[in-house]
């Protein structure tokens, strides 16, 4: 099952006002194993790989079957608010976050501006009978 999701950049962070698209892919092992989660929107963040995959503990070694989609999206927003530069997926973003905050913020703000124009078309796998859209963890009618 594939879900598309949208999260908003957390207030009082360089990501504020951003609208970021993600895809969550659930296989038959869910909820015993986490879904794969990937940003479709371009992202400049210490814990997001160039291909959009995340370095987030609850999607790896700290997964629990009690986590739902809302918990996953909330954790991603928390990661945007508090990056972990000591576990980088993007070495450049982590280095700027630690050593040149002004340039890091400039790069993130460029990502935020790009998110307003990002339609995410063509990046997600489309499976019409299994796809639901979610926004902030709640299903959205399509």
Sheet strands (E) in the chain? 2-8, 19-25, 36-39, 131-135, 138-140
Rounded to 10 degrees, the C-alpha dihedral 54/58/60/65 comes to -130
User: Is 55 an annotated catalytic residue?
Assistant: yes
Which among 1, 2, 55, 124 is annotated as catalytic? 55
- The answer to whether 34 and 20 are in contact (CB under 8 A) is no
Task: State in Å, rounded, how far the first CA of the chain is from the last one.
Answer: 16
**Sign of torsion, CA 111 115 117 122?**
positive
CA 130 to each of CA 50, 53, 123, 134: distance values in angstroms, whole numbers, following the listed order = 27, 21, 17, 13
Q: Which residues are catalytic?
A: 55
């Amino acid at each position: 099952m594939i879900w598309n999701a949208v999260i908003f950049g957390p207030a009082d962070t360089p990501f504020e006002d951003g609208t970021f698209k993600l895809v969550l892919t659930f296989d038959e092992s869910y909820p015993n194993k986490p879904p794969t989660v990937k940003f479709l929107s371009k992202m400049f963040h210490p814990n997001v790989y160039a291909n959009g995959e995340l370095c987030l503990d609850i999607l790896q070694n700290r997964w629990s079957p009690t986590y739902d989609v809302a918990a996953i999206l909330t954790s991603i927003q928390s990661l945007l608010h508090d990056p972990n530069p000591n576990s980088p997926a993007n070495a450049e973003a982590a280095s700027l976050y630690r050593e040149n905050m002004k340039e890091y913020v400039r790069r993130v703000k460029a990502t935020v501006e790009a998110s307003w124009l990002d339609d995410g078309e063509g990046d997600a796998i489309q499976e019409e009978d299994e796809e639901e859209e979610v926004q902030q963890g709640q299903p959205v009618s399509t």
